[in-house]
Amino acid sequence: MTNALLRRRILVCDDETGVIEAYRRILSDLVEGASAQAEVTLDALAADLFGDEQTPAINGTGIDEIVYCRQGDEAVAVFGEAAGKGEPFAAVFVDVRMPPGFDGVEAARRMRALDPAINIVMVTGYSDHRPAEIAGAIGAQDRLFYLVKPFDADEVRQMATTLVHRWTSDMRAAAELTGRLQELEKVNRALQVSEASAHRAARRDPLTGLLNRKGLQEAFDAAMSEASKADGKLFFAYIDLDRFKMVNDVHGHAVGDLFICNVGDRIVRATGQDGFVARLGGDEFAVVITEGEELDSVLNRVLRVGDIPFAEAGSELPVSLSIGYCRCDVVGGGLSDAMRRADLALYSAKAAGRGTARGYDKSLDDEFLRSQVIACDLKAAIENSGLQLHYQPLMSADGCKVTGLEALLRWTHPEHGDVSPAVFISIAEQNNMMIELGDWVLRQAMRDIRSWPDIITSINLSAVQFSQPCFAEKVIQLARAADISPSLIEFEITETALCGNMFDFAQQVEKLCDAGFKLALDDFGSGYAGIGYLSQLRFNKLKIDQSFVSNLRIEPNAERIIRSLVGLGEAMGLTVTAEGVEEVFQHELLRAAGCDQMQGFLFHRPCSREDVKQLLDRQRSADRAA
């Protein structure tokens, strides 16, 4: 990577002289040469913007040059000339409205065509274009941000520093990836001229260099033969990376590939001389443990590879593994039998909470058959209204008044009793029943809502439901058929649901919001969503994940994190709800932090529709008496 490529430059385009001068005053001390203390402070602000932990400063995280333009065509020309010289900009701030000539959206679109990786900040009052329209025109939503006029100086400085920091990291990551690809190309050329190397390559995973399925089969057969001769113990372990899909969806496949390679290397080091490792495809690995006496030690070492996050492109991504294993030498059978048994054990490990290891036993076969029976029963319950909705009240900040309700799905099986939502929703996902299950919830909730027309009810939506092309139209039609106002419904969407096709997702959400439905971001802070998503979609509320609330007693920084999340919500004009409030001291801290709503067992457990009606009737009577 050349020095020119690492020059950190920002392009600012605005047709108003006063705004240009404001940028100069705000950004002047960020130009390379600012004090070390200012640089450290700005690094911290950069970390806050994307929700990442603070990373060590890259040498010179300041800005080398800021270029100012007055019109969109001028900015595009300057941008193109810089790209042609191999001196790209790290970020561009573009005002949406810039007469005469084409506006900021067109200018940004042309600059994106010249450099698809450019970080673009659209400076707007949201009066000319909606975020979804801007994103559709410019593309690459993960590199598209918004700044609302009149902007705050610290916000501009924070965003400029963050994007320069991110760009520098991206450039270095790209160079490292290029170097890695070049190394792989050299290996590939060598394999083409070597029959022995070609034979080896046919048995190796091209990305990680680990054994592939063919290589694993041969190595497993040899290990089984050795174990039978030496009367030794042989184990097969199936390893799956927890929530790896989110890495690809949020950070791209290039980072995902680096992630897979890094984890593969860690597993190899953890296994050592006690076995061998294969990659079975995607995010799945296998370890054959040839030294059976070391089973527990090997499993513990492999699980601990997740102790250290994977650092890439300015982000630290969590690493978590689930392991299912079985003994092979006493059971007999081939690799396919070992994989089947270990896969059942892996399913058990994931059901136990992920990040753990589980061994196979015969009961898992019975459990698998039972889950298939439950899947059939669940399908029948959906079709015959054998499910129930309970509702948990959302309370005012003082905990005295019900200000909302959240619909929660419950299932009482005729033979097995109450089945946990974690169990039957997982079964629904595995058996492609989420759309039918979600439709049932929507229809039932809309019927119940007619009993409390003065209270907003929250309904959870899954990413699978948004995969339907006409999902928004379906929801609007259901509300019309139930004869209820969309303003009575607030849809809760988790951060996971935001990690698919953002443009299609945003179009669906926009239709729902236009129809009058409200939108809440659920479990905020627990996943990969950040301020960019909050800016792009018309959220009314963010719900702080209950893990932050439960950490108030054990984590010294928990209260500070909650105050930061509340401050973000207030800055964006959002209602802030705290989930999982179970103790009085939690309520007091959350109320002091500025949370608008509380939800948790401290106030109310989920209850039936009739109990909700009685609760609300008592509240209305108390209000009239007061």
Of 440, 437, 439, whose CA–CA distance to 428 is shortest?
Answer: 437
> Tokens 């995902």 correspond to what residue?
256
Helix (H), strand (E) at residue 508:
helix 502-515
Provide the pLDDT confidence category of residue 63 given band limits of 50, 70 and 90.
confident
- Please tell me the predicted confidence (pLDDT) of residue 39: 45
What digits encode the pLDDT tens for the residues 514-561? 999 999 988 776 554 556 666 678 889 999 888 889 888 888 888 898
Mean pLDDT value across residues 185-193: 76
Mean pLDDT of the chain: 84
Report CA torsion sign: 605, 608, 609, 611: negative
- The DSSP secondary-structure symbol of 221 reads H
What CATH number should be reported for the domain whose range is 370-625?
3.20.20.450
Q: pLDDT tens digits, residue range 355-396?
A: 889 888 887 766 776 777 888 988 999 999 899 999 999 999
> What mean pLDDT comes out for the span 476-505?
83
- Pick the closest to residue 165 from 241, 51, 260, 63 (CA basis): 63
d(CA 599, CA 577) in angstroms, rounded, equals 7
Tokens encoding 535: 């800016």
Share of the chain above pLDDT 70, in %: 88
Q: From edge to edge, which strands make up the β-sheet containing 357-359? A: 275-281, 284-289, 235-241, 321-327, 357-359
The span from the CA of 529 to the CA of 561, in Å, is: 16
Task: Give the residue among 559, 558, 557, 562 at the shortest CA–CA distance from 542.
Answer: 562
User: In the β-sheet with 9-13, what is the strand arrangement from edge to edge?
Assistant: 65-69, 9-13, 91-95, 119-124, 144-148
Note the pLDDT of residue 239. 92
Neighbouring residues of 515: CB distance < 8 A, sequence distance ≥ 6: 472, 475, 476, 479, 486
Task: Please check the confidence at residue 126 and state whether its pLDDT lies above 60.
Answer: no
d(CA 376, CA 85): 64
Task: In whole angstroms, give the CA distance from residue 114 to residue 390.
Answer: 53
| Amino acid 396: pLDDT | 95
Q: Structure tokens of 119?
A: 């970080």
Determine the pLDDT at residue 391.
Answer: 97
pLDDT: is 373 or 24 the higher one? 24
DSSP label of 151: P
Model confidence at 131, in pLDDT bands (50, 70, 90)?
confident
Sign of CA dihedral 238, 239, 243, 249: negative
Q: How high is the pLDDT of residue 293?
A: 85
Region of 550 (left: φ > 0; alpha: ψ -120 to 50; beta: rest) is alpha
User: Residue 45 — very low, low, confident or very high, per pLDDT cuts 50/70/90?
Assistant: very low
**CA distance linking residue 223 with residue 237, whole number of Å:** 14
Nearest to 340 by CA among 286, 291, 302: 286
Cα gap 116→140, rounded to integer Å: 7
CB half-sphere exposure, 123, CA atoms < 13 A: 24
By mean pLDDT, which of 124-138, 270-284, 334-348, 581-595 is the weakest?
124-138
pLDDT band at residue 195 under the 50/70/90 scheme: low
Q: Which two tokens stand for residue 443?
A: 């229809």
Does the structure show a pLDDT above 50 at 58?
A: no
Rounded percentage of the chain residues whose pLDDT exceeds 90: 40
What's the average model confidence in pLDDT over 414-439? 86
In tens, the pLDDT along 5-22 reads 578 899 999 988 888 998
Q: What fold characterizes domain 4-172?
A: Rossmann fold (3.40.50)
- 277 beta partners: 287
pLDDT value, residue 182: 86
Burial class (CB in 10 A: 0-12, 13-18, 19+), 130: middle
At 225-242, the pLDDT tens digits run 888 887 778 999 999 988
CB atoms under 10 Å from CB of 599, counted, come to 25
What residues contact 530, with CB distance under 8 A and at least 6 apart? 49, 50, 51
pLDDT at residue number 527: 54
Would the pTM of this model clear 0.75, i.e. be above it?
A: no
Matching fold, domains 202-360 and 370-625? no
User: What is the structure's pLDDT at 363?
Assistant: 77
Q: Residue 167: pLDDT above 50?
A: yes
Q: Do the beta carbons of residue 267 and residue 295 sit within 8 Å?
A: no
May I ask the CATH class of domain 202-360?
A: alpha beta
pLDDT at 104 over 70: yes
Residue type, 292: G
Q: Are 391 and 616 in contact (CB under 8 A)?
A: no
Task: Please give the pLDDT value at position 459.
Answer: 96
Query: Token digits for 100?
Result: 């005469």
Domain spans of the chain, in order of start: 4-172, 202-360, 370-625
Which range among 91-100, 175-184, 578-587 has the greatest average pLDDT? 578-587
Q: Which of 53-57, 167-171, 206-210, 252-256 has the weakest average pLDDT?
A: 53-57
Does the pLDDT of residue 424 top 90, yes or no?
no
Tell me how far apart the alpha carbons of residues 146 and 176 are, in angstroms, rounded to a whole number: 30
